[in-house]
Amino acid sequence: MVIRSTVLASVASVEHGFGGRHDDMARHFPHYWARRPMQHERHGTHIAVAEHEHQDCGEADGMITERPGLLLAIATADCVPVLLARKDGQAVAALHVGWRGAYDGIIGRFAELLAARGDNAGDWLAATGPSAGPCCYQVSPELIAQFGERYAAMPPRVIASEAGKLNLAGIAGWQLERAGFATYSAAPECTMCHPGDGGHAYHSYRRDRETRTPIKDVQWSVIAISQ
């Protein structure tokens, strides 16, 4: 079942959705899917400008566009998909935020890109989709400490649960607020444990590492300005 954010849904000219493992996004977005621009995600901070159909945006973990009809699509399997829309509906963006992207500050990088384009984060709305949650996302104590050192103002409870599991969605939310995206929604579903028909509702890289098919076993999160 495709999840839609009430925050993003407030912008009439914007279509969006966070898909699960069984969602056929070509069926949900038939007018956009086949001609969408594509990025090759590398857990970095580069954000591409999408300007035309079938565009190869190269190695990037984010896209922004002002052109109606271009569907920006993010593939994830535990990382946080972040969809954003300007309040006037004249621009949209999508970010792929894994722990590396969060650590290196891709959300702050997007705010800097907006400023360079004469835009302001305060004029945008955001939503985060399902991702590995602090109930399941086990990482090393060293990684948690590194986040604490780099983001000293971030409360420890935002970085990780008391059990030492990473709160990636919480980190992304904190970074959105700090970057000036004051209004956002967060989907609570954990990709590692949320149930669904016939098993789990979402693909999970960590849960299914030994059995998953790379590239294929992902869910898609999408956003577009309506044509």
pLDDT of residue 209: 84
Which CATH homologous superfamily contains domain 6-131+181-225? CNF1/YfiH-like putative cysteine hydrolases (3.60.140.10)
Q: With 80 as the cut, is the pLDDT of residue 187 above it?
A: yes
pLDDT of residue 183: 96
The CA radius of gyration of the chain, in Å to the nearest whole number, is 16
Strand pairing partners for 84?
93, 126
Q: With 80 as the cut, is the pLDDT of residue 141 above it?
A: yes
What is the 8-class DSSP label of residue 184? E
Higher local confidence (pLDDT), 1 or 85: 85
- Yes or no: say if 13 and 226 are a contact pair by the CB < 8 Å rule: yes
The encoded tokens of residue 217 equal 């076993």
pLDDT of residue 191: 98
What average pLDDT does the structure give for the chain? 96
CA atoms within 13 A on the CB side of 209: 3
Parallel, antiparallel or unpaired: strands 80-86 and 92-97: antiparallel
- Average pLDDT estimate for 86-106: 98
Where residue 213 falls among pLDDT bands split at 50, 70, 90? confident
Q: With 80 as the cut, is the pLDDT of residue 215 above it?
A: no
Strand pairing partners for 82?
95, 128
Measuring CA to CA, which residue among 163, 187, 186 is closest to residue 173? 186
Where residue 211 falls among pLDDT bands split at 50, 70, 90? confident
- Average pLDDT estimate for 198-224: 90
Q: What pTM, to 2 d.p., does this model score? A: 0.97
Measuring CA to CA, which residue among 192, 227, 186 is closest to residue 206? 192
pLDDT of residue 221: 98
The encoded tokens of residue 155 equal 């409360």
